[in-house]
Structure 1
Amino acid sequence: MLARNAVLASRRCFATSKTPDLEIDNLVVGAGVVGLAIGEKLTATRPSETTIVIDKNKRIGEETSSRNSEVIHAGIYYPKDSLKTALCIRGKGMLYQLLSEKSMPYRKVGKWVVAQSEEQHAYLETMHQKAANLGVETYFLSKDQAAKEEPNIRAQSVLVSPSTGIIDSHAFMDYLQQRITENGGDVGLHTMIRSICPSEGGGYLVELATPPHTDSPTTVLCRRIFNSGGLHADKVSNLLMPNRYKLNYARGHYYAYSSPCDIRHLIYPCPEKHLAGLGTHLTLDMAGRIKFGPDVQWVDDPYDYTVPDDADKKQQFVEAISTFLPSIRRDKLQPDYAGIR
């Protein structure tokens, strides 16, 4: 049935298609960090081709790319033979090199993964061995050593990931956008896709519209489409292959902390079994401010960025955070932002 629907959709497109208003080589859908990085790579390595990156929002990176912990991970959590692990380790090195060469803001602050029991320590030992097999540096601190370095943190033992850091995601995305335009590409914002159909002559016919003028779309013939639509990547794919994909959304809340607290590392609890979650952790931003999060709440609406400012939600955060930061003060937790995963 899915294949038949796709064929019928294509036939309707052929029957009603008009001469395209514009012909290009590459159309990148989504101007978050992934789409911008793809656009930068295309314009740098294929300068003779035309490349346009589009996004339905009025600014780049308005969704997942700007609503996260801004952490450069080391690659120690996931299965050793997974693609995510390989790309995280390789990408981390490439990213640090680029940030350094271009003088973009980042800090290699290091991450502590803390254990509060013998069982959790055994989990961290397994993680440490896996990291060693992957060539990623980690090492242990004892309870006494940890107390000397971070007296506010409680832990039975600590696995340190020194190559974990933080980044200014907005500065990074601004750099990628600038590179795209310098290389001769374009970034078209406030532009949404209405339809995608295979073209009889090869490539794809895409209808693009700018709200509120959605009744007069622009038809673009492109040789290739790169789907980096993030939270809406399923909708983009379903324009070509109806009803094939559906994303489920998990909202994570972040709370800022307004009480002075001298902490120099990112602090993560021991992960839940089977990586059901990395736990509510303490992160720092480029200014040294502390924030806590994210938790996990399954939601239906990817546009709902509400952060509850109620006693129950704050208490949940306090209970999670107090396992490694006993001095946490509930009255100093303030709703900050939320992101959708």
Structure 2
Amino acid sequence: MFPLRLIKHNAPQLRRAFSTTKKPDMEVDNIVIGAGVVGLAIGEKLTTKRSSETTIIIDKNKRCGEETSARNSEVIHAGIYYPEDSLKTQLCIRGKELLYDLLPRTNIPYNMIGKLVVAQTQDQHSYLQELHEKSNKLGVETHILPGDQVIAMEPEVAAHAALLSPSTGIIDSHGFMDYLEQKITGNGGDIGLYTSVTSIQATQDGYLVDLATPPDGSGDITTVFSRRVFNSAGLHADKVSNLLLRDRYKLYYGRGIYYAYNGPIKVNHLIYPCPAKNLAGLGTHLTVDMADKIKFGPDINYIDNPYDYNVPDDTENRQRFVEAIQSFMPHINPDKLHPDYAGIRPKIAGPGESFKDFLIKEEKQDGYKNFFSLIGIESPGLTSSLAIAEYVYNLIEK
């Protein structure tokens, strides 16, 4: 727990100029709301590029990255699934490049293991061909492989054909976030945990942000004046931006469950099925982590509660998983599958709706200059994180 009142100051105090009689307890140049991987990446970018400014990162949890950033597949995506001109595509490809440039110079565990997207029918083979052609346009390396070559590479897999993505990888997301956190504090920035935002008020030169420590409001309230506010609050980003923009944003919560597999099995790549057409998710796929632990998931179900990490192990849910997995790995033993954990994605698209892109913008058209909203940052947010930080930094008026 980081008591907010103990935050140190590493830059000169800002000039006081308020359009309200309310006076702040402290002043900073930048406040980043949300200490998941994207908020930490933004904080690292600000403290590196603007080292003379004061920057704090706030999160309501007791540790960084306790929600979406810690409950995902830990995959470094290639950037081939989404529309070519979308932010998800552009930032995923750029983020992958930035990660693979950074990771060899750090102690963060990672592995460019590669991925096979497997087709079971001629129609799915045609989809792979389209994906391959799009990859070529995007400059992302992929290869179409016939079924016999796929089976030779991965004997456990059934496939009519597959698309090989060599640049797909895995990363220790916790190690990555630890690295970003250390960079922020090493650069003179500060991180305030166990602290929530209760109100945001625009002033002449910036924003008055009320912060509650602990987050339930039972303790201290600290009022911070900040020249800039970056809302990267993940599952709660709509609520944070709506403190200024009344009911502008609405997020849906897509819970995905992962099953661990404890049977004797060896794979050399991540294994994905062809995804559903609406891209609500990429299908129930096989991934491995840095400890070679195999897991399957996630599925997706829309829920109302962003804190519901319940992992049901009922017969119907297990059977859905088994059928999805055995469509491309028919010899998997269902008795070796065990519910592992759940993650929740902040989705702009509701149930049945088509693809919707990341929403990353400065709210200046509504009179809120230097207030930046990041809404619906789900997959591939981990891969894109460094590129998102770069994109947001470039929105700041120099």
For the criterion TM > 0.5, the same-fold answer is yes
Task: State the alpha-carbon separation in 1 of the partners of residues 22 and 158 from structure 2.
Answer: 66
Structure 1 stretches lacking a partner, 5+ long? 1-12
- Partner residue of 1:81 out of 78, 81, 85: 85
Q: How far does residue 14 in structure 1 lie from its aligned partner after superposition?
A: 6.1
1:314 equivalent to 2:318? Answer yes
Q: How far does residue 244 in structure 1 lie from its aligned partner after superposition?
A: 1.5
- Partner residue of 1:331 out of 328, 332, 335: 335
Aligned to 2:138: 134
Query: Where is the helix percentage greater, Structure 1 or Structure 2?
Result: 1
The residue type equivalent to 1:209 in the other structure is A
Task: State the alpha-carbon separation in 1 of the partners of residues 79 and 172 from structure 2.
Answer: 19
Structure 2 stretches lacking a partner, 5+ long? 1-17, 346-398
Aligned to 1:285: 289
TM-score (norm 2): 0.80
Q: Which moved more, 1:71-80 or 1:212-221?
A: 212-221
Q: Is the 8 A contact 2:258 2:295 kept in 1?
A: yes
Q: How far does residue 213 in structure 1 lie from its aligned partner after superposition?
A: 5.2
Task: State the alpha-carbon separation in 1 of the partners of residues 177 and 142 from structure 2.
Answer: 29
Q: Secondary structure at the match of 1:275?
A: coil
> How large is the Cα RMSD of the aligned pairs?
1.3
- Partner residue of 1:232 out of 226, 230, 236: 236
Q: How far does residue 103 in structure 1 lie from its aligned partner after superposition?
A: 2.8
Task: State the alpha-carbon separation in 1 of the partners of residues 26 and 160 from structure 2.
Answer: 63
The residue type equivalent to 1:267 in the other structure is I
Aligned to 1:170: 174
- 1:219-275 CA deviation, whole Å, 9 max, x = no partner? 111000000000000110111112221211110000000101011110000112243
1:203 equivalent to 2:220? Answer no
Q: How far does residue 129 in structure 1 lie from its aligned partner after superposition?
A: 0.5
Q: Is the 8 A contact 2:128 2:144 kept in 1?
A: no
The residue type equivalent to 2:153 in the other structure is E
- Partner residue of 1:94 out of 76, 90, 98: 98
- Whose radius of gyration is greater, 1 or 2? 1
1:151 equivalent to 2:155? Answer yes
1:21 equivalent to 2:25? Answer yes
Closer, same or farther in 2 for the Cα pair 1:61/1:276, shift >3 Å?
Answer: closer
Q: How far does residue 340 in structure 1 lie from its aligned partner after superposition?
A: 0.6
The residue type equivalent to 1:314 in the other structure is R
1:208-223 aligned at under 5 Å gives the runs 208-211=211-214, 214=218, 216-223=220-227
1:259-274 aligned at under 5 Å gives the runs 259-274=263-278
Q: How far does residue 18 in structure 1 lie from its aligned partner after superposition?
A: 2.4
Q: How many residues align?
A: 327
Moved over 6 A (4+): none
1:256 equivalent to 2:260? Answer yes
Task: State the alpha-carbon separation in 1 of the partners of residues 339 and 316 from structure 2.
Answer: 13
- 1:125-148 CA deviation, whole Å, 9 max, x = no partner? 000001011111000221111111
TM-score (norm 1): 0.93
1:50-61 aligned at under 5 Å gives the runs 50-61=54-65
Task: State the alpha-carbon separation in 1 of the partners of residues 85 and 205 from structure 2.
Answer: 37
Task: State the alpha-carbon separation in 2 of the partners of residues 188 and 272 from structure 1.
Answer: 40
- 1:62-109 CA deviation, whole Å, 9 max, x = no partner? 000000000000011111122211111111011011111113100000
- Partner residue of 2:192 out of 188, 191, 198: 188
